Amino acid sequence: MIRSKAIVFAAPRRPLVCHDTTVPEPGPDQFVVRVTHAGICGSDVHRLIGDLGAPAGPVCFGHEGVGVIESIGANVKTDRVGNPVAKGNRIYWVPGGSCGQCRFCRGEKTLGFCQNRVWPAPFGAPNAAAFQEFATLDLTTSFCRIPDGVTSDSVIAFGCAMPTALTALQRLGDISGTNVVIQGSGPVGLAMCLVARLNGAAQVAVIGDPVLRLDIARRFGADAIFSLSDTTREERRARILEMTDGAGANVVVEAAGRVEAFDEGLHLLAHYGRYAIVGLYSGSATTSFNPVYVNNRNIRIVGSMYLDMREIAGAVDVAAQAGAKYGFGDLITHRFALEQTEDAINCASRGESIKAIVVPSGE
Ligand SMILES: [Zn+2]
Ligand SMILES: [Zn+2]
């Protein structure tokens, strides 16, 4: 038995409570991780205010974890992409994964669609939530070892945004040589900016706010940045047409989470343009658009919800390749103790942080 503490969410708009718990020794298919870094995600803000519905009972959550394997069951030999793992190794994980049995897991490995996924995790049983000192993971969890030389900060800096961006890229297809416009400069928008650059986009433009975030987009290689508050929609379109010899963007990625972005993004596309909808994933949003416009320009619109399990390892690779060069760790502007998880989520909600994290058990 290990003594632990866990953050518990009972209902929307009710305070989060930090409970003392005990974590049993792992079974043969399980392992226990001491959580060193737990990222705050935009979806945590949505959860607290009830956009994701109310849980049936008290639950544990936090879905961006980095930690150290504390004890490990006999059957856990490798991570989900085959790297050997042992006690003492650092890993990055997103709770849930692929059961291998349901219709989703037999096809695409999209984490989140698995019909046997239990998330958020009911409080009281060992679980993989990140907002706790010790998490219990198992062979179905999406996890990847972090190699020596790659800092934990550089992996958690983007949290689930990096695998989300990599999954969106998979769904878009090859973007080398294209002109890319990214709507939104939150974690997914910034991750997408970097991913576009690393994958050979000819030009990358980012629309967002505040300037602090746009400066990071610039650091990640954006050729143009447009502040939403300083430019009009017409000005942005005129500049993007100018950048693309009047053609428009080959690829637009909606990572803004605002329905107004859709109409603007659609009208930034060139003929044969591709549009990925990534940020509009919760609540409900309706807008009218002209399907004739989509038809007449041979436009493709793709949704990209959740993330491909394999991109957990993809995100660790990006941190290994580019984390030091681009200073990923600098994105972490706020760190909170486990007991302050609600403050951390509120900080992210107010847009004060670039990335806020909770540090459940220190390094
Ligand atoms: Zn997330
Ligand atoms: Zn499944």
Tokens of 284: 């409900």
Ligand nearest to C-alpha 94? 1
Angle 187-198/211-219 helices, nearest 10 degrees? 20
Q: Where are the domains of the chain?
A: 2-146+327-359, 162-303
Per-residue model confidence (pLDDT) at position 306: 86
What is the whole-number distance in angstroms between the Cα of residue 36 and the centre of ligand 1? 17
What does each of the 363 residues of the chain score in pLDDT, given as a tens digit?
A: 899 999 999 999 999 999 999 999 999 999 999 999 999 998 899 999 998 888 999 999 999 999 999 999 999 999 989 999 999 999 999 997 778 888 888 877 777 788 888 899 999 999 999 999 999 999 989 999 999 999 999 999 999 999 999 999 999 999 999 999 999 999 999 999 999 999 999 999 999 999 999 999 999 999 999 999 999 999 999 999 999 999 999 999 999 999 999 999 999 999 999 999 999 887 777 899 899 999 999 999 999 998 888 899 999 999 999 999 999 999 999 999 999 999 999 999 998 899 999 999 976
Per-residue model confidence (pLDDT) at position 184: 97
CATH of domain 162-303: 3.40.50.720
Residue that has been written with the tokens 């991780």 in this structure: 33
Per-residue model confidence (pLDDT) at position 363: 63
**Could you give the CA distance from residue 238 to residue 100 in angstroms, rounded to a whole number?**
48
What is the whole-number distance in angstroms between the Cα of residue 112 and the centre of ligand 2? 9
Ligand nearest to C-alpha 106? 2
**109 and 310 Cβ atoms separated by less than 8 Å:** yes
Per-residue model confidence (pLDDT) at position 45: 93
CATH of domain 2-146+327-359: 3.90.180.10
What is the whole-number distance in angstroms between the Cα of residue 87 and the centre of ligand 1? 27
Per-residue model confidence (pLDDT) at position 328: 96
What is the whole-number distance in angstroms between the Cα of residue 237 and the centre of ligand 2? 42
The model scores a pTM over 0.85: yes
What is the whole-number distance in angstroms between the Cα of residue 161 and the centre of ligand 1? 7
What is the whole-number distance in angstroms between the Cα of residue 83 and the centre of ligand 2? 22
What is the whole-number distance in angstroms between the Cα of residue 98 and the centre of ligand 2? 5
Among candidate residues 261, 263, 298, the one with its CA nearest the CA of residue 279? 261
Ligand nearest to C-alpha 307? 1
**344 and 159 Cβ atoms separated by less than 8 Å:** no
DSSP labels, 107-164: S--EETT-TT---SEETTS----SSBSEEEEETTEEEEEPPTTS-HHHHHTTTTHHHH
